[in-house]
Amino acid sequence: MSIDTATARKVAKLARIRVQEADLPKLAEQLSGILGFMEQLNEVDVTGIEPMVSVTPMGLARRADVVTDGNIQGQILANAPDAREGFFAVPKVVE
């Protein structure tokens, strides 16, 4: 499967990574190379094989549905690039 410039543009958009228009052809070529490498997987007979969900056969642990943490607003916001009045601040989302 070969990736064209339009597909590379779309993937970059989905990944929320800005890629300059001039860099798209090179990116498309690299992604094509990597995906070409993955094509080998088509040689394998996977009939009747379930996709692996967990590498170790164990059930996920459950815990009581109770509050175990909280009242740490200062810690939560300590690393924010922009925090105001106890909230994360972002550019205007709603007009």
Residues that bind another protein (CB under 8 A): 3, 7-8, 11-12, 14-19, 27, 30-31, 33-35, 37-44, 46, 49-56, 58, 60-61, 63, 72, 75-76, 78-82, 88, 90-93
Rounded to a whole number of angstroms, the minimum distance from the CB of residue 22 to another protein is 14
Rounded to a whole number of angstroms, the minimum distance from the CB of residue 67 to another protein is 15
Tokens of 40: 């080998």
Indicate the burial class of 85 (C-beta count within 10 angstroms; 0-12, 13-18, 19 or more).
exposed
Rounded to a whole number of angstroms, the minimum distance from the CB of residue 58 to another protein is 7
- DSSP for 23-49, written as a single string: GHHHHHHHHHHHHHHHGGGGGS--TTP
Which residue, 60 or 67, has its beta carbon nearer to another protein? Answer: 60
Residues facing 88 on adjacent strands: 83
